[in-house]
Amino acid sequence: MTESARPDQASQPLRLRNFYIGRQPVLDRNQALYGYELLFRGSAQGGANIESGLSASASVIHHASQLGLPRAIGDATAFLNVDKEVLMSDMFAFLPRERTVLEIVRSVEPDDAVIQRMTQLAAHGFRFAAEASAHGAALARLLPVVDFVKMDVRELPVVTLLSLAPRLRTTGKRLVAEKVETHTEYRTCLDVGFDYFQGYYFAKPTVMAGRKLSPSQTTVLDLMNLVTSDADNSEIEKIVKREVTLGLNLLRLVNTPAVGASRRIESISQALILLGRRQLQRWLQILLYAEPGVRGHSQSSLLMLATTRARLMELLAQRLRPGQRNVADVAFTVGMMSLMDTLFCIPMQDIVEQIPVIDEVRHALLVRKGFFGELLRLAEALEQMDETSEAVLPTLHELSIDGDDLAELEISAFEWSDKVVRYAI
């Protein structure tokens, strides 16, 4: 939790205890990643809450800088909530202005001083966002100085959404649909003309009768079965070489900074030797999400989410069960598999019947129980922290994890996932 800070102390270092991070994706019309809204939560005093006033915004901004904003968002754009006190301070002067959008919270009244300050910052390259329903009639005053207008699809009636969005588009503003949770809502907002979408509609499973896996996915699953059955490398190599795109993706993956090869790997046989069976299995899991020919579509969003979730669960398992490498491997597998129902558009029950898994993994995926189920519940709660922040603290307590440790593990997972996805597709 951040200690209170006066406006004249805004540029001084702040101390934060027991915090963790929400990183919510903002996708474009092709469902490719555009940015992240960063939310920092305090976990002290027995409640998971976002701190109010200056301390909340100061926590985000200060620690985005301290932890390294690129580690948290990669090449994406950061959306950061700011209140009036922060707006009038200089605490965010060190942020990369070309990749930072300052989101004006609902408590800010756009008086002359606020508009003047926003105009000054805009001249220095900062961009602004405002939420339509939060500011109501005052939105008209903000429009000349904001670049993005957010609209909460849960708060605004559909009829208002349908009439307001086209009018706002004529002003040249970029429209962001918030809390989009279903594909129907996404399609509606797409048709109306929204530019960006925030919400987890892309991660919700949609069961499709008669759905068939792509040839590439079928090949990857066949390879995973060969790996778990200890088949010879030559047999695995033969299948990989038969699928040209699969081989290219595998070579991209083994040459990522996330793998850390000391020299460039040029052949499939080298890649298989370098990885070993343990790493090969996890890279095959990643390749399931890296469908060829769909760069910039929902698979890339799922890939980012799945790899971040899996890596965070792996790091948590390493912290909680040190020296037990197999436990960390299983945690990674659970994280990757937890979105396969969305990827394949089939029920999770069918997936665990088709892909051989141990009982602990099955239990975690189906009912979120057991050690791996607790890790999965924590990862999912962190992803949707604006809706389920209350679910984080009890799980932290159950797992005996300190919020400060969790934040650093989250940043490491964000960074690792960004490196993987950048080269995987």
Assign domain 215-424 to a CATH class.
mainly alpha
Mean pLDDT is lowest, of 10-14, 78-82, 209-213, 358-362, for: 10-14
> What average pLDDT does range 292-318 have in this prediction?
81
> What average pLDDT does range 385-394 have in this prediction?
67
Position 6 scores a pLDDT of: 35
56: confidence class by pLDDT, cuts 50, 70, 90: low
Q: CA triplet 93, 96, 100: central angle to 5 degrees? A: 95
Which residues in 347-380 are b (16+ Cβ under 10 Å) and which e?
A: ebeebbeebebeebbbbbbeeeebbbbbbbbbbb
Position 387 scores a pLDDT of: 56
Distance CA(79)–CA(374), nearest Å, equals: 29
Q: Which CATH architecture has domain 7-203?
A: Alpha-Beta Barrel (3.20)
Distance CA(102)–CA(104), nearest Å, equals: 6
Position 72 scores a pLDDT of: 82
Position 196 scores a pLDDT of: 97
Find tokens 């809706």 and name the residue.
387
Q: Is the pLDDT of residue 209 over 70?
A: no
Dihedral sign computed on CA atoms, order 279, 280, 281, 283: positive
**Fold match flag (7-203 vs 215-424):** no
Task: Provide the percentage of residues in the chain whose pLDDT is more than 70.
Answer: 83
Distance CA(130)–CA(147), nearest Å, equals: 8
Domains of the chain, by residue range, sit at 7-203, 215-424
Q: Is the pLDDT of residue 15 over 90?
A: no
Q: Is the pLDDT of residue 419 over 70?
A: yes
Question: Amino acid letter at 33?
Answer: L
Tokens found for residue 202: 């892309």
Q: What is the mean pLDDT of the chain?
A: 82
Residue 254 · residue 193 · CB < 8 Å? no
Task: Provide the percentage of residues in the chain whose pLDDT is more than 90.
Answer: 36
Position 126 scores a pLDDT of: 92
Q: Is the pLDDT of residue 241 over 70?
A: yes
Position 35 scores a pLDDT of: 93
Residue 214 to residues 159, 179, 333, Cα–Cα distance (Å): 39, 30, 21
Distance CA(307)–CA(203), nearest Å, equals: 13
The secondary structure element, H or E, covering residue 149 is strand 148-152
52: confidence class by pLDDT, cuts 50, 70, 90: very low
Q: Is the pLDDT of residue 40 over 50?
A: yes
Q: Is the pLDDT of residue 5 over 60?
A: no
Closest listed residue to residue 246, CA positions, set 221, 264, 263, 228 = 221
Position 83 scores a pLDDT of: 86
Higher-pLDDT residue of 194, 219: 194
For 108-157, write each residue's pLDDT tens digit. Answer: 999 999 999 999 999 989 999 999 987 778 888 999 999 999 999 988 88
Position 90 scores a pLDDT of: 77
> What average pLDDT does range 420-425 have in this prediction?
72
9: confidence class by pLDDT, cuts 50, 70, 90: very low
Position 55 scores a pLDDT of: 56
Position 89 scores a pLDDT of: 83
63: confidence class by pLDDT, cuts 50, 70, 90: low
Q: Is 355 left (phi over 0), alpha (psi -120 to 50) or beta?
A: beta
Task: Measure the N-to-C terminal CA separation of the chain; round to a whole number of Å.
Answer: 38
296: confidence class by pLDDT, cuts 50, 70, 90: very low
218: confidence class by pLDDT, cuts 50, 70, 90: confident
Position 362 scores a pLDDT of: 96
365: confidence class by pLDDT, cuts 50, 70, 90: very high
For 274-287, write each residue's pLDDT tens digit. Answer: 788 888 888 889 88
Q: Is the pLDDT of residue 299 over 70?
A: no
For 162-194, write each residue's pLDDT tens digit. Answer: 889 999 999 999 999 999 999 899 999 999 999
370-383 vs 298-320: helix axis angle to the nearest 10?
130
Q: CA triplet 259, 327, 204: central angle to 5 degrees? A: 75
Position 53 scores a pLDDT of: 44
424: confidence class by pLDDT, cuts 50, 70, 90: low
Residue 19 · residue 59 · CB < 8 Å? yes
